[in-house]
Amino acid sequence: MEQVCFEAVLNKKQMQKVASLAEDIWYEHYGTLLGEKQIAYMLEKFQSVSAIEKQLRHGYQYYLITYDGDAHGYIGIQPQGNTLFLSKLYLQKQARGKGIARQALDMMREPTSNYKMGDTYNSLYAYRYAGLTATGDPSVYDENGNVISIEQVRNVNAVVCVGQLTPKWNGALQLDFRWKGLNVFAKVVYYTGHALRDDVVTLYDPYNAIEGGAIHEDISRRWTPEHTDTDIPAMGLHTNVGERNYHWKYADVNTESASFIKLRNIGVSYTLPQGLVSKLKMKGITVKAQVDNLCYWAANKRDIDPEAFNANTGTRTDAIMPSYVLGLNVKF
């Protein structure tokens, strides 16, 4: 699947690009169905630069859909209360059948999970957090700088890039000490320059945070009428969740460095002296003991192993446990 980016239509040049795409797509797709005169009328009335400009003034949002460095379609939506009205979604013929339309729809539903034009590939996006309300609800800034709580914020311009999901730099330090038949070795790896989303607690069900008898640390620090000096939102009922959980989970305050250093392996081996091996009528004997992934240091404050974590969704995966190897290599 191609890397798809979305560029908000804000100026006259972008409007002209939408109008040009509309003309290309409409004549290609509707030519035999509507006829040239009807298409020309529809384009002038609904997809000309002046028409698009008027729609934008009335709350519509347009986004150019780009991949491979060029725009190949566009999407038009209109927020209506807590819902989004999908007005237009058009792609050029060569861009269809690639899953791009699905990504465009996903972007409208979850703008933090896609890529904006001009940002690094695999960027991490988040809402700008505006703090807690007087009732302990999380709030964020929308694309115009207004503080919003409970209600949906789905404009892609409301989110900001807070880093990238892939490391900018990585490397390894290999240690290898040999003396006669003894070999002591170790490998340390590091990854840095990337970010992750914290695994914050679900706001609507504190019991949902109980896993294996452990309660999420944020539960005890949550907002209550008696405990307002906190940055953790109040817990609410599932039926009254609104956008509370989404605003909190995808807020920029819940992102941090994903840098880490890990002892990838450490071990020792010993090769028996050749004189002794020859007496046993063998060519060589080596014994080896090794431990993989014994320990790590991570920059985050929640004891998250970035290698066992989905950095974009903020969820832990199966832990990478240390593994132990004992080996015997015999050559006859």
Bridge partners (DSSP) listed for residue 41? none
Q: Residue 262 contacts by C-beta under 8 Å, 6 or more apart in sequence?
A: 188, 189, 190, 293, 295, 296, 297, 307
Amino acid at 219: I
If one counts every other C-beta atom within 10 angstroms of the C-beta of residue 94, the result is: 8
Structural domain for 308, as ranges = 169-196+257-331
- For residues 184 and 317, membership in a common domain is answered with yes
* C-beta separation of 214 from 201 below 8 A: no
For residue 42, is it within any domain?
yes
- For residues 304 and 184, membership in a common domain is answered with yes
Identify the CATH number of the domain in which residue 98 sits.
3.40.630.30
For residue 157, is it within any domain?
no
For residue 61, is it within any domain?
yes
Whole-angstrom distance, CA of residue 154 vs CA of residue 303: 31
Question: Of 63, 83, 109, which one is at a domain's C-terminal end?
Answer: 109
- For residues 325 and 177, membership in a common domain is answered with yes
For residue 114, is it within any domain?
no
If one counts every other C-beta atom within 10 angstroms of the C-beta of residue 331, the result is: 9
- For residues 175 and 94, membership in a common domain is answered with no
- For residues 68 and 173, membership in a common domain is answered with no
- For residues 62 and 173, membership in a common domain is answered with no
- For residues 187 and 68, membership in a common domain is answered with no
Structure tokens at 123: 């960027």
- For residues 181 and 57, membership in a common domain is answered with no
Question: Of 84, 109, 134, which one is at a domain's C-terminal end?
Answer: 109
pLDDT at 32: 82
For residue 293, is it within any domain?
yes
pLDDT at 166: 85
Q: What is the DSSP string of 165-221?
A: SS-SEEEEEEEEEEETTEEEEEEEEEEES-EEE--PPPSS-GGGGEETTEE-TTGGG
Question: Of 61, 94, 109, which one is at a domain's C-terminal end?
Answer: 109
Backbone angles phi, psi at 17, to 5 degrees: -65, -40
**Mean pLDDT in runs of 10 for the chain (332 residues)?**
71 91 92 88 93 86 83 85 78 88 76 65 88 92 90 83 90 94 96 93 58 67 89 71 80 95 96 85 91 96 92 87 94 86
Q: Residue 52 contacts by C-beta under 8 Å, 6 or more apart in sequence?
A: 9, 15, 18, 19, 62
- For residues 177 and 322, membership in a common domain is answered with yes
The count of structural domains within the chain is 2
pLDDT at 114: 60
For residue 187, is it within any domain?
yes
- In this structure, what DSSP letter does residue 150 have? S
For residue 155, is it within any domain?
no
Backbone angles phi, psi at 71, to 5 degrees: -80, 130
Q: Are strands 4-8 and 115-116 parallel, antiparallel or unpaired?
A: parallel
- For residues 173 and 73, membership in a common domain is answered with no
Helix ranges, 77-157 (H): 100-109
- In this structure, what DSSP letter does residue 37 have? H
pLDDT at 187: 96
For residue 276, is it within any domain?
yes
Whole-angstrom distance, CA of residue 74 vs CA of residue 91: 7
- For residues 189 and 314, membership in a common domain is answered with yes
- For residues 190 and 277, membership in a common domain is answered with yes
